[in-house]
Amino acid sequence: MNFVTHITMADLIFKEVSALYELNRVAFVYGNIMPDVDPRFNKTPHMFDNDFERIMALSEELVAGDFSVKTYSVKLGFLCHYICDFFCLYHSELSKFIQYRKHGIYEIKLHFVLKKMLRFQLFKVDESGFATHQIGGIKQQLMMARKNYVENPKTYENDLIYAIQTSIYACKVITDAMVYRGAIEVYPWETLWNDYI
């Protein structure tokens, strides 16, 4: 996903999550674009296979750590950036990622679809297609979301819905666990699809 799309999605995710928890908007948005603007994070493509375990380690750090609101917001935004990229067609396989021209065009079109969905309030999720009533750890839930994404039709809308919904879910699970210093194992997956827009 391109820089501008990450900013727009960060705003959507921030509105949802900051209604429940104190976050710093500027820091959260910066965290969402940091992997694209900081050369330290551009050494490998932002892909599920490359970054999933690192993102899981970051989620554990966020739960266990004692951060200022600003630092927490940057780190949570950073995590969201990668989750969003995990649900982008051209970040799904290396063979697609390196098709730079097609990749760039796809991400530009993706941004226009996002703007259209926002303008016409088209973020309607068919809960029957996504919701499960299982409870499991965040790792298992993100892996399940990724599996469902891979098995569904490849559309701009699916990329955006999965990216936004899964990021919101992860933010809520991690922040709930941080606030209560509990395990991040007990957040129902169904909330991912019931709480958004």
| pLDDT block averages, 10 residues each, the chain of length 197 | 92 90 95 92 81 92 91 96 90 66 86 91 49 59 91 92 92 84 44 40
- Torsions phi, psi for 99 (to 5 deg): -85, 75
Query: Does the pTM of the predicted model rise above 0.85?
Result: no
CB 6 within 8 A of CB 32: yes
Q: Rounded CA gap, 126 and 35, in Å?
A: 31
